[in-house]
Structures are given as C-alpha cells and as structure tokens.
Amino acid sequence: MKRFSIAIALMGLGLASQAQASPCPPGFSMLQASDTCVRISGTVRADAVAGSGRHGGSYRNQSGARVQIDVRKQTEYGPLRAVIAVGNLRGGRGQE
C-alpha cells in the first residue's frame, strides 16, 4: 500500500500539458518545471468461471492489478531511467 501511495503522489506532482513541445518519447509527459519525462501505466484483470458437474457446482475467480511508473531524464553521464512496478496479476481464490 505504501508503494501505491508513492505512485499517487507522483501523479499529484502534475504533468505538463501536451500542448508544450517536449523532448520526451511517445507516451511520456514532461513534469512541470523540469526536464524529466514520466509515464504512468497499469493493467487491471478480472476472471470468473462457473460451472456444474457431477458432484455439484464449482466456481473460480481471479483478479489482479498492476501500476508501473517509468521515469527518464538526461544527465551529463547519459540517460537515466527508473522503473517502479507494483502489483500482482496472479492470485485469486475459489471453491471446487
């Protein structure tokens, strides 16, 4: 949960508007008053399977989510890249 709070805080920093020219790669936005490029992406998944068999009904459900923050910046030593990925796309529980 602490990592998710960090992700929310980075989103709260505010991304520059897309109207400004930016040296960022496609899909990235430049942070305001900075030359740092940021991309926030994620995935959410939910599956449910229900059926009946000879021994009664069964069901299975799974869900997961993932948030990824990719930060890029040019430094005097070359490009710097940091990636933070939080989440779990596996998991789930069920009854058979």
In this predicted model, what pLDDT tens digit does every residue of 74-83 receive, in sequence order?
999 999 999 9
Mean pLDDT of 68-73: 94
pLDDT computed for residue 71 by the predictor:
94
CA-CA distance, 47 to 19, in Å (whole number)? 39
CA-CA distance, 49 to 64, in Å (whole number)? 15
Q: Residue 96: is it exposed, middle or buried by C-beta count within 10 angstroms (0-12/13-18/19+)?
A: exposed
pLDDT greater than 90 at residue 52: no
pLDDT computed for residue 88 by the predictor:
81
pLDDT greater than 60 at residue 40: yes
CA-CA distance, 25 to 65, in Å (whole number)? 25
pLDDT computed for residue 53 by the predictor:
67
